[in-house]
Amino acid sequence: MSSLIMLITVFVLAIFVGIEIITKVPPTLHTPLMSGSNAISGITIVGALILAGALEGQDLFSPLAKTMAFVAVIFASINVVGGFLVTGRMLKMFQRK
Amino acid sequence: MGMQDLTNIIYLIAAILFILDLKMLAHPRTAVRGNQLGALGMLLAIVATLMSGTWDWTYIILGIGIGSLIGAVAALRVKMTSMPELVGLFNGFGGAASVLVAGSALVATFNAVNAGAAGGSMQTKVATVLSGIIGSVTFFGSYVAFGKLAEFLCVKWKLHTWQKIVKYGFSLAVAGSGIWYGLTMGTNPLSITFMVSAVLIGGLLLPKKDRFPGMDLLKGLSAIASVALGVMLVLDPSNTPLFWVLVAVAGVLGVILTLSIGGADMPVVIALLNSYSGLAAAATGFVIDNTVLIIAGSLVGASGLILTKIMCKAMNRSLANVLFGTMGPTADTPDADEVYKTVKSASADEVAMTLEVAQRVSIVPGYGMAVSQAQHAVRDVANFLEDKGIEVEFAIHPVAGRMPGHMNVLLAEADVPYDKLKEMDEVNPTMEQVDVAIVLGANDVVNPVARTDPSSPIAGMPIIDVDKARTVVVIKRSLSPGFAGIPNPLFAADNTLMFFSDGKKAMLDLLAALKET
């Protein structure tokens, strides 16, 4: 099996898993669901780190690519840290009672 | 087992933690733990990445530090009423990050090819294009959504200083950088397309209205141009400026797609952009051959799609209708003065007397509750009534407010227990047994016209049937129409009392009146 087909398999199966589990989230928690899933979409930080951290002489090194990836690391960190924190803040309010 | 295998196994664990996070969001009791597991998954994914090679740590630490600081300050300081704006903004950052990673990977790969490494595969090329288009639509679309929610885009009234700075600053920055980069590229079709797109984006965000002639044409043109440029980029990936032209043209598409969607449809837009930000991340995963990006991205993409579907169903409209259709008064909309001839207005004392003798009270909050920050005051009223032995519940329409679940978050902030928050389908069957229904700053979601008039723009939209309650108290500042722009006969019904006031003030006055009697 080629690696592309394998990745597409992963993609399609994950979509189905997502649909199955998210259908069970009650409307009360839809806002935390959005901010929480938004934090998860900050996973692009992984790609940003690989490109921003490239050392001179490595395959992926290019000053322009590095600068762009550096900005991407900042954006993705905002997404990840802000997203998980604000979701936690909201969920604590639901948990109090 | 090599380092690469270990990294991939940790990625798998991270993916499982993300799934558990979303799964545990199904109940308020487990949700906090779920969110922590998700954060742990993210931490593991980052650690695994950083373990797998040698790095230039300066950029990594600096980037994570700056981003975390901004994110933490935003997350801890934001008011619960501004949650839709914050989520919109975060969506935008996600989209921008995807564009930048894909662009960076393209530049880096091209560099490596120059240095003698193997060129990118077809998969990388197609994924780069998709990532660029979806990411750019997400970024610019989110900016428009943010601007509409924070009320500085497409509004007629005077702006605050910060709103002016953001609005004109953003337009100027986009148009300016477009012209600057276009000039450095020289005179050729690509650079002209880039300049025109950037100036268009900047200019489209300036008018004080969100619809103008030629919009649909521009929407179609930018969509076709995005695809055409994408094909060109796949055929010639070494032409990196092409990527930026693609991003600019897709940006025009993102701006127009979101501009043309009306205020009432904001919950759909936010959900849809959420989905896009996930799909952009998944596309980026295909660019850099990374499974954890693909899994996390598709989970988010699925989540946004489901929410979009739920929101559309709650408005009885198809997604295509939300994206391309317009909503507003039709030709035969009844005249407001005619409808409102028999409106009865009531004071806080009169409403208090009605509540005194009630056994069951249903409160229906809407966007007006968020605007007036009435959630704490309404909780006090609810608690006071409950202490008197009156049964109180909150009936929440799925599209009440500006994003899915908006009302629930505000009421949770005010310590209203979540089992008091009832869904529309749960409340409607027993509405006849409700003695007093209090409508707090909601309008279209309680408009009986949706049931009775098939020619109305909201015909068939499921509503909360407050008109079937014995008495309805509507708290509203005026008789002005809701987002749908049509009069609401509920306000003039025999069993309705209009309590004209700001939501919070009404609740405070009502509480004072209740305590007196």
B69 is a domain residue:
yes
Q: Please tell me what DSSP assigns to residue B108.
A: H
Please state the rounded mean pLDDT for residues A66-80: 96
Closest approach of A67 to chain B, Cα-based (Å): 8
pLDDT tier at B118, thresholds 50, 70, 90: low
Does the annotation mark B387 as catalytic? no
pLDDT confidence of residue B388: 94
pLDDT tier at B332, thresholds 50, 70, 90: low
pLDDT tier at B247, thresholds 50, 70, 90: very high
Q: Say if residue B462 is in the same domain as residue B427.
A: yes
Q: Can you read off the two tokens belonging to residue A19?
A: 């649909």
Residues of A in contact with B404 (CB under 8 A): 27, 30-31, 33-34
- Chain B contact present for A3, CB below 8 A: yes
> What are residue B212's phi and psi, to 5 degrees?
-155, 160
A5 is a domain residue:
no
A89 is a domain residue:
yes
* Active-site option among B210, B265, B444, B502: B444
- Chain B contact present for A9, CB below 8 A: no
CA B267-B270-B273 angle, to 5 degrees, is 145
Domains in chain A, number = 1
Q: Under an 8 A CB cutoff, do A44 and B97 touch? A: yes
Q: Say if residue B317 is in the same domain as residue B392.
A: no
Closest CA to B179 of B201, B206, B199, B200: B199
Q: Which of B26, B117, B303 sits opposite A18 (nearest CB)?
A: B303
Q: What pTM was estimated for this model as a whole?
A: 0.90
Q: Under an 8 A CB cutoff, do A10 and B291 touch? A: yes
CA B39-B41-B46 angle, to 5 degrees, is 95
Q: Residue B220: beta bridge partners?
A: none
Position of tokens 């200019």? B203
HSE-up of residue B380 (Cα within 13 Å, Cβ side): 15
Per DSSP, the three-state class of B173 is helix
Closest CA to B286 of B19, B48, B102: B102
**Percent of chain B surpassing pLDDT 90:** 64
A21 is a domain residue:
no
ipTM summary value: 0.95
Residues of B in contact with A34 (CB under 8 A): 87, 270-271, 274, 303-304, 307, 403-405
Q: What is the pLDDT of residues A33-49, one digit of tens each?
A: 999 999 999 999 999 99
Sheet with B471-476, strands from edge to edge, namely: B421-423, B391-396, B360-365, B436-440, B471-476, B496-500
A24 is a domain residue:
no
How many whole angstroms separate alpha carbon B20 and alpha carbon B24? 6
As a whole number, the mean pLDDT across chain B is 90
Q: Say if residue B35 is in the same domain as residue B67.
A: yes
Closest approach of B297 to chain A, Cα-based (Å): 6
Domains in chain B, number = 3
- Chain B contact present for A2, CB below 8 A: no
Per DSSP, the three-state class of B306 is helix
Give the domain CATH number at B382. 3.40.50.1220
pLDDT tier at B117, thresholds 50, 70, 90: low
**Residue B97: pLDDT over 90:** yes
Lowest mean pLDDT among A53-67, B107-121, B393-407, B474-488: B107-121
B242 is a domain residue:
yes
pLDDT tier at B236, thresholds 50, 70, 90: confident
pLDDT tier at B420, thresholds 50, 70, 90: very high
pLDDT confidence of residue B87: 92
Domain that residue B343 falls in: 336-516
Which of B45, B77, B109 terminates a domain? The answer is: B77
pLDDT tier at B319, thresholds 50, 70, 90: confident
Q: Which long-range contacts (CB under 8 A, 24 or more apart) does B108-114 make?
A: B108/A51, B108/A54, B108/A59, B108/A60, B108/A61, B108/A62, B108/A65, B109/A60, B109/B237, B110/B237, B110/B238, B110/B240, B111/A60, B111/A61, B111/A62, B111/A65, B112/A59, B112/A60, B113/B238
Q: Which of B64, B109, B303 sits opposite A37 (nearest CB)?
A: B303
Q: What is the pLDDT of residues B159-188, one digit of tens each?
A: 888 889 999 999 999 999 999 988 888 888
Enumerate residues 6+ apart whose C-beta is below 8 A from B494.
B342
Q: Say if residue B282 is in the same domain as residue B376.
A: no
Q: Say if residue B278 is in the same domain as residue B412.
A: no
Enumerate residues 6+ apart whose C-beta is below 8 A from A84.
A36, A39, B35, B38, B39, B42
For residues B413 and B405, the answer to whether their CB atoms sit within 8 Å is no
B94 is a domain residue:
no
b/e B69-96 (16+ beta carbons within 10 angstroms → b): ebbbebbeebebbebbbbbbbbbbbbbb
Residues of A in contact with B41 (CB under 8 A): 40
Which of B77, B110, B129 terminates a domain? The answer is: B77
Per DSSP, the three-state class of A62 is coil
Q: Say if residue B340 is in the same domain as residue B363.
A: yes
Q: Please tell me what DSSP assigns to residue B441.
A: S
B135/A59: higher pLDDT: B135
How many whole angstroms separate alpha carbon B329 and alpha carbon B459? 12
A42 is a domain residue:
yes
Q: Say if residue B315 is in the same domain as residue B359.
A: no
Q: Report the residue of chain A nearest B86, measured CA to CA.
A: A35
Q: Which of B76, B303, B408 sits opposite A28 (nearest CB)?
A: B408
Q: Say if residue B363 is in the same domain as residue B314.
A: no
A51 is a domain residue:
yes
Q: Residue B471: beta bridge partners?
A: B436
Q: Say if residue B391 is in the same domain as residue B495.
A: yes
Q: Residue B436: beta bridge partners?
A: B361, B471
A18 is a domain residue:
no
A17 is a domain residue:
no
Q: Which of A28, A78, A92 sits opposite B70 (nearest CB)?
A: A78
Domain that residue A90 falls in: 29-95
Q: Under an 8 A CB cutoff, do B63 and A52 touch? A: yes
Residues of A in contact with B299 (CB under 8 A): 14-15, 17-18, 37, 40
Q: Say if residue B194 is in the same domain as residue B275.
A: yes
Q: Say if residue B259 is in the same domain as residue B287.
A: yes
Q: Say if residue B44 is in the same domain as residue B137.
A: no
How many whole angstroms separate alpha carbon A14 and alpha carbon A30? 20
Q: Can you read off the two tokens belonging to residue B242?
A: 């092409």
Which of B324, B351, B374 terminates a domain? The answer is: B324
End-to-end CA distance of chain A: 51
pLDDT tier at B54, thresholds 50, 70, 90: confident
Please state the rounded mean pLDDT for residues B51-64: 91
Residues of A in contact with B287 (CB under 8 A): 47
pLDDT confidence of residue B246: 94
